[in-house]
Amino acid sequence: MPNILRVKRRESGAAGAPAALKQSEPAYNEVDDTLYLGVGSGGGGGNAASIKAVAGAGAFVSKTGNQTISGDKVFTGLVDLSGATIPSLSLSQNLTVVGNLIVQGTTTTVSSTTITVADKNLELGKVSSPSDTTADGGGLTLLGDNPHTFNWVNNTDSWTSSEHIELAQNKKFRIDNVDVLTKTGLGSTVLASSLTSVGTITSGVWNASDIGVAHGGTGASDSANARINLGVQIGVDVQAFDADLAALAGVASAANKIAYFTGAAQADVADFTPYARTLLDDGDAATARGTLGLGSMATQNNTAVNIDGGTIDGITLDGGTF
């Protein structure tokens, strides 16, 4: 009959190591499928100093079958998970992926505070057959009180922002590497626009069509036609410049004053009383004498005065001396 060597064992009951083993003594617990071994000397009663699990699927990873692995594990070599399916994985330490990382789920959530990407270009909407239709609505969404979006809209063939665009100081909008808009002005190549109102224009050259009178212009490109359109044509609507008229216009008007010339293209004013005006409007000398209160005597020659009536008082007739 052959000899049989059987190690210490437990077929049922509690999992775990025996309470004590001698140094190098093995024990197999069939409950947790683990082989234990006494390690070291110096234990009480001649027992091993410690008991360690050295084999078995209960303590070590099996190449086949399902297992639950707990505790911290440190892998220093290459871990090949190709062909494996991992339904859920939680890592508390850093993870370095040397090869490509392919995520095939419907949602990928990243809860880190900083994402650093060495690639200078991010590709979005990479499907088997990309088109503007598949790209429609793609872009960036920053959640806030309301979503702040920057998206591609296929219907308008444009990138569309839900918010204002703020450029840093001294930055410009450019089209085809040409400045078109700055903080203070339009680019020099912007020759046509649909502006309906502008601020105060302080410089520049007007190169468009004539601005009509109804819109604050003259409707003309030269002064002569501008005056005609404005109703101030010289010699028809208004008097041409005259130095004498300008001199008269330069004196101050006032009641009972009359303007007169003091020299060439020089004017001043003098008193012109109501009584003086009654004399000037007389049509002949007789009427003027009447206004002055003069009788017929005023018409006699000083060398042939005839007094044929009346009384003369206070007259001294003096024959003189010899």
Task: Round to whole Å and give the CA distance between 147 and 159.
Answer: 16
pLDDT, residue 143, reads 94
Taking the whole predicted model, whether its pTM rises above 0.85 is answered as: no
The answer to whether residue 149 sits within a structural domain is yes
Question: Within 10 Å of residue 287's Cβ, how many Cβ atoms?
Answer: 12
Residue 50, φ and ψ in degrees, nearest 5 = -155, 165
Q: What is the mean pLDDT of residues 134-154?
A: 95
Q: Indicate the residue among 55, 77, 94 that finishes a domain.
A: 55
pLDDT, residue 245, reads 86
The answer to whether residue 189 sits within a structural domain is no
Query: Of residues 103 and 114, which shows the higher confidence score?
Result: 114
The mean pLDDT of the chain is: 86
pLDDT, residue 162, reads 95
Domain shared by 232 and 246, yes or no: no
Domain, as residue range, for 225: 209-238
Q: Indicate the residue among 238, 258, 281 that finishes a domain.
A: 238
Query: Exposed, middle or buried by CB within 10 Å (0-12, 13-18, 19+), for 91?
Result: exposed
| Contact in structure between 58 and 39 (CB atoms under 8 Å) | no
Q: Which residues pair with 261 in a beta bridge?
A: 267
pLDDT, residue 87, reads 73
| Contact in structure between 300 and 294 (CB atoms under 8 Å) | no
Q: What is the mean pLDDT of residues 177-181?
A: 91
Nearest to 155 by CA among 140, 175, 135: 135
Domain shared by 248 and 227, yes or no: no
Which spans in the chain are helix H? 132-135, 223-230, 243-249, 274-280, 285-292
Q: What percent of the chain has pLDDT over 70?
A: 99
Task: Round to whole Å and give the CA distance between 68 and 60.
Answer: 10
As given in the structure block, the two tokens for residue 302 are 């000083």
The answer to whether residue 306 sits within a structural domain is no
Domain shared by 16 and 51, yes or no: yes
Tens digit of each residue's pLDDT (9 = 90 or more) over 152-175:
999 999 999 999 999 999 999 999
Cα 285 to Cα 102, 161, 272, 303, distances in angstroms: 125, 95, 20, 21
Tens digit of each residue's pLDDT (9 = 90 or more) over 61-105:
777 777 777 777 777 777 777 777 777 777 777 888 888 888 888
Domain shared by 224 and 257, yes or no: no
The answer to whether residue 258 sits within a structural domain is yes
The pLDDT of residue 188 is above 90: no
Give residue 289's pLDDT band: very low, low, confident or very high (50, 70, 90): confident
Report the domain count for the chain.
4
In the chain, DSSP assigns E strands to: 8-10, 26-29, 34-39, 50-55, 139-142, 148-153, 158-161, 173-175, 178-181, 257-263, 266-271
pLDDT, residue 202, reads 83
| Contact in structure between 268 and 253 (CB atoms under 8 Å) | no
